[in-house]
Each structure stands twice: as C-alpha cells, then as structure tokens.
Amino acid sequence: MTATPTTMAMGAAIGAGLRRALDADPTVLLMGEDVGRLGGVFRVTEGLQKDFGAKRVIDTPLAESGIIGTAFGMALRGFRPVCEIQFDGFIYPAFNQIVAQVAKIHYRTAGAVQMPLTIRVPYGGGLGAVEHHAESPEAYFAHTAGLRVVTPSSPSDAYWMIQESIADDDPVLFFEPKRRYWEKGPVDTVTAPDISLHQARIAHPGGDVTLAVYGALVATALAAAAHAGADGLSVEVIDLRSLSPIDFDTIEESVRRTGRLVIAHEAPVFLGLGAEVAARITERCFFQMEAPVLRVGGFHIPYPASRAESHYVPDTDRILDAVYRVAAL
C-alpha cells in the first residue's frame, strides 16, 4: 500500500526530518542560536526542544566559532551534532573551525577518526534582508576537500536529504534556500526517493539546451523552461542537489544529447560553482558541444542592499537570455 504524500512547506519539511532523526538516534542533537525555545528565526526547529529536551536541542551563545568548535569535540566523542548557522553571512567567524579542523580530521588521522557533523546554513537572498543576511558562500566549502556540500530545492528533498546528511559519517554543509522555506510540495514521509544524497536529478526533461541549477534557482529555472517551451525551445533542467561531490555524469549525459549548457546560481559567477561545471563538461563533451557554456549568476560585488537585490539575483529573464543566446549559436 502506497502512503499518501503530505503537503509541507520546505521549512516544515526540514523540521520534520530533524524530528525523525532525533527520534531515531539518541546521539543526534541540535545546536544553535535560538533553535530551542524560539524554534529558530525561521521556526524550522519549532517544538523540538519541548519534545526532546534542552540537552538535545541546545540554545547556544552568539558565537559561531564556539558552536562549531563545541560540536567538533562532541562528534569526536560519538555524538552526531546538527549545528544551525542562523544566517549565511554569520558563518565566517566559524570558517577556520570548519575548513581547518572539521574538514581535515579524517585525513589527518589516516581515516581513524570520523566527523559526523551537519551544519545547516540558510542561504541566499529573496527576503530583502540587511547585510550579512543574504549571501551564497557555498563555493568556499565546496572548494575544501573533506566537506560534503548539499542543497535541496523542494520539501521532499529537504525532508530526506537532512536525514541522509545527519546519518553520514563525513561532515556535511546543508545549505537551505531560505526564500523557499514557505513554498509547499508533496512529501512522502514513508518511502525514501530512489536517489542518493549526491546524485543530481532531471527536474524537467528537454532536448535542445541543458540548464544546470541548484537550490532556490531550480524553481526559477523551471519557470524559464516553461517560457522557452512556449517558444518551441526544449530546455532540460538539472537540479544538482549536491555541490561537493558534483554528479557530473548526469550533466554529461544530458549535454551529449543537447549539445548546449547554461549554468545558473545566485553566488557570483567569478570562480563560482558554474566555472567548475563548465570546465569539466567542456573536457568531457568537447566534440558534442554546439556552443560554449554560458554562466548566469551574481555579480562580483558584495551582496547589495535590499532595494537593489532584484538586479543582483538571477531571474527568469536573465536565465532565458542565456538560454536563447546559447541556442542561437
């Protein structure tokens, strides 16, 4: 008998996934600023401290380096901490802990020590927030060997991917597209989807242009594909889901069919994830490609004030412009 999917918003789906992980494994605990009594700034962890207690859902001081450093020690002692960085721009005080300690301990000990630590990071714009509250720092961590980096684009992925991240014995940066927290979708809480944590998925099939995206821009890309379809252009949208490692095989298979690739992300184009994807796919598919890879993303400036945000974040028009340009070549 197939279970009827439950309709959830993405934020609620992450909370439900955290609840299930807490219930299934007594070594799992949550840490972060206001994650307990308040339930988090976005109410993702609402009710969890009440049900699991203050020793497993821990309100921490406002000290990101201290949060990650403490979680690092707890992971060494057999716990599976899940840390919340309240906003993307607040992760920088913990950068040294993450890239110099968390990422390297497994290698440093020749595999003897595991680091089952999950770091939740609400990221990206779309809320009209102030400085340090709307950034996309994922490339810093995807660049660092020893870290896994993933990001969901739907409530279903959010529900299952947070549980997979927590169960992983390697450290995982779990980037949550905050502008999608309130968007709803079906979630089958009984049967896990037939896709691994680090596997990309084809969100929309097509045959003329491959459009690779992740996180908040998946919905934008699907809207662009619908517009292009009305003009007779078939766009295949690939949701990367995992940013380290990247599922290049799925992208390659698509590009070998379409001959064209556009990559879009909210982070700056300069040295962003799109550059790595473009280089790898060009190496793999050079003789099948009909046009150079085009990238769409943020500009090489600090994230702008909220009134200029709409000019910075890639929208449907900017993505469509790249799709039409690459299709014309």
* Cα separation, 284 vs 302, whole angstroms: 33
Q: Can you say whether the dihedral through the CA atoms of 129, 276, 320, 229 is positive or negative?
A: negative
Name which of 173, 186, 59, 36 is nearest 115 in CA terms: 173
Q: Where are the beta strands (DSSP E) in the chain?
A: 6-9, 28-32, 57-59, 80-84, 118-123, 148-150, 172-177, 184-187, 201-204, 209-213, 235-239, 242-244, 261-268, 294-298
Answer yes or no: are the C-beta atoms of 264 and 215 closer than 8 Å: no
286 burial type by CB count under 10 A (0-12 exposed, 13-18 middle, 19+ buried):
exposed
* Cα separation, 246 vs 243, whole angstroms: 5
* Cα separation, 147 vs 162, whole angstroms: 15
Answer yes or no: are the C-beta atoms of 8 and 187 closer than 8 Å: yes
Residues 6+ away with beta carbon under 8 Å from 163: 17, 20, 21
Write down the catalytic residue from 132, 133, 265, 300. 133
Identify whether 106 is a catalytic site residue: no
Answer yes or no: are the C-beta atoms of 175 and 150 closer than 8 Å: yes
Q: Which residues have a catalytic role annotated?
A: 133
